[in-house]
Structure formats: C-alpha cells, structure tokens
Structure 1
Amino acid sequence: MPLSPVVPQGGLQVFDSIGYFLRAFRLSREPGLRRWVFLPLAFNIVLFIGLYWLLGGWLSGWVDSIGSGWQPEGSFAFLGSLVEALRWLLQVLAWLVLLMAMASTFTIAVQLIAAPFMGFLAEQADRRISALPLPQESLVNLTKRTLRRELVKTWDWLWRTLLVALLVLILWLIPVINVLAPLVWFLWSGWLLGLQYLDYGADTRQVSFENMKARARQHRWLVGSFGCLTLTLTMVPMINLLVMPVAVIAGTLIWLERVSESR
C-alpha cells in the first residue's frame, strides 16, 4: 500500500531530510524489506572491521606525531601553551579529515561491492512507496546494468573529487584559512552521497545518470543536506553499520516524492 507523500511545511529544505531518514528507518523494519537490508548490512560490518584493522593503528600513530617536535625553548618558552593548543587543533582537524576520508572510502567500497543488493532494496522500497508500475527487467540484466552504472558514477565523481581534494590541500597549507578545509571536504562528500543514494531510486526507474544529476541540481539544499546527514551518521560508530540501507530507502523516497518528474 503506497505511503502518503510528505508535504513540505515551508522553511528550509535542510530539515526535510531528517523526516525522510526517519520514514526510511521505519520502512526498513517491514518484513518484506528486512532481508534486503540485512545483506548490505553484512557487507558493512565485514568491510568496516577490515578497514579499521588495517588502518586504525597507523592513523592513530600518525595523528599523535603531528607537531611532536614543536617545543619552544629559551626566550620563546612562554609560547609553549600556545604551541600545544595549536598542535591539539591540528590533530583535531586531521582526525576530522581522516574520518571523512575513511567514511567516503568505506562507502564507495561497499557501494561497488554491494551495488546489486542496493538496487534490489531500492526496487522493493519503490514498490511500497509508489503505485506506478516498475519497468520489467530480468535479474541478470538488473545486476549488469547496476554494476555498469556504478562504474560510470565512480569515474564521473573520481576526477571531480580529485580537483576538490587539491583545493582542500591548498586550503590546508594556508594558515587560518586551513580551518575551512574539513568543511569544504564535508560539504562535497555530502553532496556526492546525496546523489549516490538518490540515484538508486532513479536507476530503479531506469532514468539516466545525467538526467538524475540535472534534476537533483534543482533540489540542491534537500539533496545536499540529505547527503551531509548520511555522511555524519556514517562517521558514528555502530550507527554507521545501519546507515547505508536506510539511506537507500530514504533516497528512493526523496526521488519519488520530490525529485522525479513521474509525480
């Protein structure tokens, strides 16, 4: 039975993404969707544990080493507390950048491996949200098309992300302004995640990737805030394991009710 659409109550669209996430969480607990939620969840757990096991110790040591030799001596000894505060700030910024980079890498890895399961989940969610019939497609064709589309998306976003990463690096090297580096990376990563999860719903309706991006630009605040919310939850231990399948459902909701021209 289709759910009634969310009617915007005015104000900024950034708050609407929270409502979609809550609705998606409720939907994810329905019996017909649980098994499709479990499969990406299993991928999340395995990859997250593996990534932390490989990189956790090295990253901790690297961050702790930042500014370890900065100890003013002689007539500059009075600057010790200021230097220590600066060292602490740089370590916090480094952790923020690393957490966002790990969250982005972790998300991309899972999306490439679990892309077909995400597609199945989006399709099942679509059936519960919309009364419109879905395009008929065999399981084999769906899997091939989903994997092909993920590779196209990855390449499209990779070269753009490299340019943004270069900008972030430049900002990081400029005193005072370097505090903007994590913010720029966070906003860019959030926009990409918003597009990614919106695309599952678009792909289910066989809307082209370029067409999806063009429509998403008309809802920048909603898509961007949805992606930033997803990214934030991805960086929270334990919660991040459940975020991805719920975000697929939320993206499908947003696509059908706010972005798609099918309504």
Structure 2
Amino acid sequence: MLNLNKGNNPLFALNCLVQGIKLLPHPSLRKYLLIPFFINIVLYTGAFVLGYHSVSALIHQFIPDWLSWLSWILWPLFFVSFLVVGFFTFTLLANLIAAPYYSQLSAKALQIVTGQPDQAVTEAPWDKIFLGELRRIGYLLARILPLLLLFVIPVVNLIAPVVWALFAAWGVAMEFMAYPLECRGLPFPEQKRFLQQTRLGSLCFGGVIGMALTLPLVNLLIGQAAVIGATLYVHQLSESNANTEQTS
C-alpha cells in the first residue's frame, strides 16, 4: 500500500527528483545509465541533423535571395519546434527503446536505497515492459490530436497552451512513474489510478522533467534521473504508509 496523500505534495515530488539526480554518479548505476544515454545521443543527434538539413533545403528552395532576411526568423522557429516536437516524438521513441534498461535502472536504484540483495528486488518481464510502453504511447497519442485542435478554435486557443502544458506534464509523469510501478506488478490501469490519486505531486514531477527534456545536453541524462526519482517517490510513499500503520 502507498501513502497517496503524501504523494500529492509538490515539494516531496521535487525532493525525490533531486535525490534521483544526486544518485546518478553512484558506481553501481553506471552500467544502467550508459545504454539509455547512447540511445538518447543517437536519436536526438539524428533528429537534429535531419531537421537542420531539411529546413536549410526548404529555405534555399522557397525563399529568394531578396527575402534571405527571413531566415533569421525561420531558424529560431526551427529550434523551438525541434524542442517541442522532439519531446513528443523522440522522447517517446527513446523511452520505447530504452524501456527494459530503465526498468533495470529502477530495480537497481531500489536495491541501493533499501540495501536489499539483488535477488530480493524483482524486475518486470521485458514483454510486459514493452506492452506497457506501447499502451502508454497509444494513450498519449490518442489525446495529442484533439489537444492540437484546441489551437485553431477561436477563444479556446487562448487556454490551449495551458492545457497542452498540463497534458505534457501528465504524460511525462506517466512515462517515468511506470517503471517502479511495473516492478511492483501494477498494470497500466492501476498506474493511471495512482497518478490520478497523486495528481498534484505527479504533475509537478512531470512538469519539471518535461522542461528539462527540452534542454540540449540536459535531456541526455534527465530521463535516467527521472527513473531514479520516480523509484524513490514510490518507495518513500510505501515506507511512509508502513510507518503510519505501525504508529496506528
């Protein structure tokens, strides 16, 4: 059982994330960090290079020399678009590829903070990890298009950025909280229920991670820190509930 009331505290959620960042240099976690790190490097570098050459070709093809000054506007738009689109596409793709390694990272981080032997900490089966990741991606993609339509509806488009930001925070929290919850055997519906019951803390956690994912270089390691932070978040909620039951 988890103490979900404590999970609604934004400061508690952020403290778990900070602890996750501090735990990144731990020697026992290095091999679990490397593969997701290289996956992120390959995907983000490939996306950036492809986007750069595509935009450059479009500028040269459709903008005449006398309008070359427009490139000063188009290039900043490209970088902003890359950061936004990169989050919703390459982050999801990176998580799909790195999901088994993130699950191992979560299990190892739990083993470190609890001091339990390796065999006492279970990992979710790889097939369930992939199926869970596909279900989360399907859940998020099914809601992205309706949310994008908000931007073209008059008046409603004024609140569209706020709704989009909240959805992004929710999606990020759903992605990274899944790993420790799957290690506990919680299927996707119960993971959603957990997020709904810790909505405020989860949104704060996901919002900070979401912003960090848009920052070059930072996004190469923030996913690993988020997995560790989510693991600490779930574990400390469990410990808090156990202490409450003992006291009562």
Fold equivalence (TM over 0.5): yes
Cα gap change, 1:260 to 1:167, in 2 (>3 Å): farther
Q: 2:67 matched to which residue of 1?
A: none
User: How do residues 1-263 of structure 1 correspond to structure 2 at under 5 angstroms?
Assistant: 13-59=9-55, 96=80, 99-130=83-114, 142-168=125-151, 170-171=152-153, 174=154, 178=157, 180-258=159-237, 263=242
C-alpha displacement of 1:228: 0.9
- Decide which structure has greater helix share: 2
Identity within the alignment, %: 26
Q: Determine the C-alpha separation between the residues in 1 that align with 2:202 and 2:141.
A: 19
Q: Greater shift after overlay, 207-216 or 95-104?
A: 95-104
Q: SS state of the match for residue 198, structure 2? A: helix
Cα gap change, 1:148 to 1:30, in 2 (>3 Å): same
Give the letter aligned to residue 104 of structure 2: F
Task: Give the structure with higher Rg (CA).
Answer: 1
* TM-score for the superposition, normalised by structure 2: 0.77
Cα gap change, 1:165 to 1:261, in 2 (>3 Å): farther
Instruction: Compute the RMSD of aligned alpha carbons.
Output: 3.7
Cα gap change, 1:92 to 1:46, in 2 (>3 Å): closer
Q: Determine the C-alpha separation between the residues in 1 that align with 2:220 and 2:116.
A: 31
Report the count of equivalent residues.
230
Q: Determine the C-alpha separation between the residues in 2 that align with 1:23 and 1:204.
A: 20
Q: Determine the C-alpha separation between the residues in 1 that align with 2:86 and 2:160.
A: 16
Q: Which runs of 5+ in 2 are unaligned?
A: 1-5, 60-72, 243-248
Contact 1:122 1:248 in 2 (8 A): yes
Contact 1:96 1:182 in 2 (8 A): no
Q: Which runs of 5+ in 1 are unaligned?
A: 1-7, 64-87
* TM-score for the superposition, normalised by structure 1: 0.73
